[in-house]
Chain A
Amino acid sequence: MLELKNISFGADNDGTKVEIVRDISLTIPDNKFVVITGPNGGGKSTLAKIIAGIVKNTEGSIILNGEDITDKSITERARLGIGFAFQQPVKFKGLTVLDLLRIAAGKPIKIAEACEYLSEVGLCAKDYISREVNGSLSGGELKRIEIATVLARDVKLALFDEPEAGIDLWSFSNLVRIFENMRASESGRTIVVISHQERILNIADEIIVLADGKIVKQGTRDEILPGIIGTKYATDVCRKVTESGV
Chain B
Amino acid sequence: MDPIQLNLLKEIAELHEVPEGAYNFRANGQSVGRQSTENIEITPKSDVSGIDIRIKPGTKNESVHIPVVLSESGLKETVYNDFYVGDGCDVLIVAGCGIDNCGQQDSEHDGIHRFFIGKNSRVRYVEKHYGSGEGTGKRILDPVTEVYMEDGSSMEMEMVQIKGVDSTRRTTIGELGKDAKLVVHERLMTHGVQKAESVYKIDLNGEGSSADVVSRSVARDESYQKLDMCIVGKAPCSGHTECDSIIMDSGRILAVPSLEADNVDAQLVHEAAIGKIAGEQLIKLMTLGLTEAEAEEQIINGFLK
Q: Assess the A94–B302 pair: CB atoms within 8 A.
A: yes
B-contacting residues, A81-122, CB 8 Å: 82-84, 86, 90, 92-96, 99-100, 103-104, 106
Which residue of A79, A86, A93, A106 is within 8 Å of B284 (Cβ)? Answer: A86
Cβ-based interface call for A149 (8 A): yes
Cβ-based interface call for B46 (8 A): no
Cβ-based interface call for B269 (8 A): no
Q: Which residues of B contact A84 (CB under 8 A)?
A: 287
B-contacting residues, A68-87, CB 8 Å: 73-75, 78-79, 82-84, 86
**A149 CA to B281 CA in the complex, in Å?**
14
Q: Assess the B280–A78 pair: CB atoms within 8 A.
A: no
Nearest CB on B from A143, distance (A)? 13
**With A95-B298, A95-B299, A95-B302 in contact, is A90–B289 under 8 Å at CB?**
no
Cβ-based interface call for B43 (8 A): no
Which residue of A54, A75, A92, A99 is within 8 Å of B292 (Cβ)? Answer: A75
20 additional contacts, CB 8 Å, given A52-B287, A106-B289?
Answer: A54-B283, A54-B287, A74-B286, A75-B292, A78-B286, A78-B288, A83-B287, A84-B287, A90-B278, A90-B280, A90-B281, A90-B283, A92-B302, A93-B216, A93-B302, A94-B304, A95-B298, A95-B299, A96-B302, A106-B288
What are 22 contact pairs spanning A and B, CB under 8 A? A52-B287, A74-B286, A75-B286, A75-B289, A75-B291, A78-B288, A79-B289, A86-B280, A90-B278, A90-B284, A93-B216, A93-B302, A93-B303, A94-B301, A94-B303, A99-B298, A100-B288, A103-B285, A103-B288, A104-B289, A106-B288, A153-B288
The 8 closest A-B pairs by CB, nearest first: A94-B302, A95-B302, A90-B284, A74-B286, A78-B289, A94-B303, A84-B287, A104-B288
Nearest CB on B from A160, distance (A)? 12
A-contacting residues, B78-126, CB 8 Å: none
Nearest CB on B from A7, distance (A)? 19
Q: Assess the A74–B303 pair: CB atoms within 8 A.
A: no
Instruction: Give me the interface of B with A, judged by CB distance under 8 Å.
Output: 216, 244, 278, 280-281, 283-292, 298-299, 301-305
**A42 CA to B283 CA in the complex, in Å?**
23
Q: Assess the B283–A74 pair: CB atoms within 8 A.
A: yes
**With A90-B281, A93-B244 in contact, is A153–B289 under 8 Å at CB?**
yes
A-B contact count (CB 8 A): 59
Q: Which residues of A contact B302 (CB under 8 A)?
A: 92-96, 99
Q: Which residues of B contact A94 (CB under 8 A)?
A: 216, 301-305
Q: Which residues of A contact B284 (CB under 8 A)?
A: 86, 90
**A64 CA to B117 CA in the complex, in Å?**
65
A-side binding surface: helix, strand, loop or mixed?
Answer: mixed
**A106 CA to B291 CA in the complex, in Å?**
12
Q: Which residues of A contact B285 (CB under 8 A)?
A: 103
With an 8 Å Cβ cutoff, the count of chain A residues facing the other chain is: 24
Quick one: closest B residue to A78, CB to CB? B289
Q: Which residues of A contact B301 (CB under 8 A)?
A: 94
**A75 CA to B286 CA in the complex, in Å?**
5
Q: Which residues of A contact B289 (CB under 8 A)?
A: 75, 78-79, 103-104, 106, 153
Q: Assess the B299–A74 pair: CB atoms within 8 A.
A: no
Q: Which residues of B contact A153 (CB under 8 A)?
A: 288-289
Q: Which residues of A contact B291 (CB under 8 A)?
A: 75
Quick one: closest B residue to A81, CB to CB? B289
Nearest CB on A from B296, distance (A)? 12
Quick one: closest B residue to A83, CB to CB? B287
**A96 CA to B303 CA in the complex, in Å?**
10
Quick one: closest A residue to B285, CB to CB? A103
User: Considering residues B290, B299, B304, which has the most beta carbons from chain A within 10 angstroms of its beta carbon?
Assistant: B290
Which residue of A75, A82, A83 is within 8 Å of B290 (Cβ)? Answer: A75
**With A93-B302, A94-B305, A95-B298 in contact, is A149–B286 under 8 Å at CB?**
no
Nearest CB on B from A104, distance (A)? 5
Q: Which residues of B contact A82 (CB under 8 A)?
A: 287
User: Please, what's the 1-or-0 string for A30-57, where 1 marks a CB less than 8 Å from any CB in chain B?
Assistant: 0000000000000000000000101000
Q: Which residues of A contact B288 (CB under 8 A)?
A: 78, 100, 103-104, 106, 149, 153
**A82 CA to B289 CA in the complex, in Å?**
9
User: Considering residues B281, B285, B298, B305, which has the most beta carbons from chain A within 10 angstroms of its beta carbon?
Assistant: B285
